[in-house]
Amino acid sequence: MDRQKALYIKGTSKTPEIDFASGNIQISGRSIPEDSVTFFEPIMKWIEDYLKKTEKFTKVSFKIEYINSGSNRFLYKILKQFDESFKDGRNITINWYYEEDDDTIKNLGEDFKDLLEIPINLITIT
C-alpha cells in the first residue's frame, strides 16, 4: 500500500483546521459545523485508511477552542478509531490541549480519557 496522502482542510469560523500527514495528525480550532456528518465523514475515512498501515509512531493533537454536541460525537468516534489501533499494538500518542481557564474543553478531554484505553495527555496552554 502506498503511503497515505496528506489531508488538509482550512479552518473556518465554524469548522476546525484538519492537518493530517503520516505520523502527525492535528485537529484545531472551533468545531460547530452546520452538518457534522458531511464535514467529518471524509476525515474518518482518511483515518480508517491511515490506520490500515500506520507509521511506526503517530502523534495525534487536538487543539479545540469550542465544540458543539455533533462534533463532540465525531471526535469521540475518531478517538475510538485510534484507541482500537492502539489496543492492536500500534504506537500512538494523543495530546489534548486546552486553555488554562477553559474547564469545558479540559473536562471533555478528561471524559475521553476515562472512556478509552489509549493514554491521553492533557496539556495546558498558558
Chunked in runs of 10, what are the mean pLDDT values of the chain (126 residues)?
74 97 94 96 95 90 96 96 96 97 96 97 95
pTM value > 0.85: yes
CA nearest to 83, candidates 107, 106, 110, 60? 60
Please name the CATH architecture into which domain 7-125 falls. 2-Layer Sandwich (3.30)
Is the Cα torsion angle 81, 84, 88, 91 positive or negative in sign? positive
Burial of 54 (0-12, 13-18, 19+ CB in 10 A): middle
pLDDT at 54: 79
pLDDT at 1: 36
Residue 77: other Cβ atoms inside 10 A: 13
pLDDT at 4: 58
Residue 80: other Cβ atoms inside 10 A: 14
Residue 61's SS3 state is strand
Ordered by start, the domain boundaries in the chain are: 7-125
pLDDT at 22: 84
